[in-house]
Amino acid sequence: MEFLQKAIVKAFADVFETEISATQVNLEQTKKEFEGHVTFVVFPFVRQTKKSPEQTATLLGQYLQANCQEVESFNVIKGFLNLALTDAYWLGVFKNEVLAPDFGQLPKNGQKVMIEYSSPNTNKPLHLGHVRNNLLGFAVSNLLESAGFEVIKANLVNDRGIHICKSMLAWQKFGKGETPENAGLKGDHLVGKYYVIFDQEYKKQINELLGQGLSEEEAKKQAPLIKEAQQMLLKWEQGDAEVISLWKKMNGWVYAGFDETYKKLGVSFDKYYYESDTYLLGKDLVEEGLQKGVFFEKADGSVWIDLTADGLDEKLVRRADGTSVYITQDLGTAQLKYDEFNCDQSIYVVGNEQDYHFKVLFLILEKLGKSWAKGLYHLSYGMVDLPSGKMKSREGTVVDADDLIEEMKLTAKEKTEALGKVDHFSDEEKDQLYQMIGLGALKYFLLKVEPKKRLLFDPNESIDFQGNTGPFIQYTHARIKSVLKKAGFVTGEVSFPAQLGTTEVELLQLLSRYPQIVEQAAKDYNPAAIANFAYDLAKTYNKFYQTESILKTEDELVKAFRLQLSASTAQTLNMAMAILGIEVPERM
């Protein structure tokens, strides 16, 4: 509302003979309990006006009403000046902004950003924690694209290490040639099964050794299985043909399983990185850091960085035997990403248990003189908890992503059929709808909360056709589409009525805010702002639908306008939900 900022600057000059800049004029949406559309807070300016807050606000209001044609009326609550804008202004916003072909898509800004998310281990299937990670990473990618960024979606797969060898060894010893095909299991579930078997057999061996008088620490080190797994890792690092062949085969099973789950979740990637390709890259950076004096070598040959002056600890970056540690690989991968894509920003979507790791990683890269390190950002998110006993889990400890998706679909089916909403649907249409509602409920529930917050996910609460849920918004979209279909609505030239109802203005005002919501949400990497906007829009439309007659209006001009307003609302709901990766049905 640049015109209003300029008008207020002029008002200060004319009424109070004092200069302020447009950047000082902060305009807020008027709170719902007060009349008006825009609020200007005058408290910061009373020293310049030399009048009380109420007098300042009143004089400004009177000036704006007389000199700014868009201002219809005003009221003052203490030092808050609430301004009501004319119907003509809101209709102009609708015509020139909301109905513009590129509404909701911000112009390209020339910035390139990489978003890394998912980052699974290839020793087990994806679980509930991965679901939040994937949905968050994908939604932030969509959000930044809508805000004008060029986005590269990346996935760093943790495909090497002792945990991978545990699954491989257990399959070798106990698998009897079992494959996803002959077991009737997804590949990631099959490999996960052998990771569990390794753990069970390892515990048996530890208990045997404890019975022989060994301490727990010694028993864990001396158990034959862990020694064999360590030997297998060593063989892998030496390029042993048999071990590499088994590793490729089992990882292949896992990737096929992951792809199925990603497809069900509706997420995708532009670039895959694999730890097996990147884990050695950081060693060059360690050498560079030693030469620059950023790192130092201890007597045993291990290499460290001292970050105590920065409020952190000493950090190992290379072991005494010359092998890399986790952060070594991350240093190399960060350099590789920049070399390949030259991004302005690189965002890591990783849980908050890794907050310290990323502080260290980014600081080391800055100390190595990497100018691009300033563009690195850790999008930290909280854990997802479940009400006790609400969801079954394959291994008894974590909720499997595939089980979760299937359970959401079944819950959607039960709730939808109980409401009798699908009697006229074919079986195929029903199946698609249950998938859409179940996944919409899951995605919306996990994304409507700010990333940094821990959340409690209740499947039943998420599938509710009332309240702040995905299905409520989906149902509103379907309702609008039903109204448009009944009216035989076709987008065309719109005629505008002379007067607007209160709920029409409310709906127009909210629609007009969508581009600003996208811009701010992108700055904050916060899809929750989009989710809650979609809920507010759906709620406001339902209020408009209950208040104003659409199809039964005798005035054809008003009817055409209300149908176009409905169509624009449906389109905006669709755009907002698409950012969250949620499909909206044409009918329900």
pLDDT, one tens digit per residue, over 1-13 is: 899 999 999 999 9
- Strand pairing of 314-318 and 112-116? unpaired
Determine the Cα–Cα distance for residues 196 and 484; give it in Å rounded to an integer. Answer: 54
Q: Decide if 219 contacts 211 (C-beta within 8 A).
A: no
The residue behind tokens 């760093």 is 156
Q: Decide if 583 contacts 436 (C-beta within 8 A).
A: yes
Determine the Cα–Cα distance for residues 576 and 588; give it in Å rounded to an integer. Answer: 19
Determine the Cα–Cα distance for residues 108 and 448; give it in Å rounded to an integer. Answer: 26
- Secondary structure class of 298 (helix, strand, coil): coil
Determine the Cα–Cα distance for residues 583 and 471; give it in Å rounded to an integer. Answer: 10
Q: What is the pLDDT of residues 361-382, one digit of tens each?
A: 999 999 999 999 999 999 999 9
pLDDT of residue 394: 45
| pLDDT beneath 50: ranges in the chain | 390-395
Determine the Cα–Cα distance for residues 237 and 160; give it in Å rounded to an integer. Answer: 9
Determine the Cα–Cα distance for residues 181 and 1; give it in Å rounded to an integer. Answer: 62
H helix or E strand, kind and range, residue 328: helix 326-341
Determine the Cα–Cα distance for residues 297 and 314; give it in Å rounded to an integer. Answer: 12
Integer-rounded Cα radius of gyration of the chain: 30
- Strand pairing of 303-306 and 314-318? antiparallel
Please name which of 101, 71, 87, 32 lies closest in space to residue 561, comparing C-alpha atoms.
87
Q: Supply the pTM of this predicted model.
A: 0.92
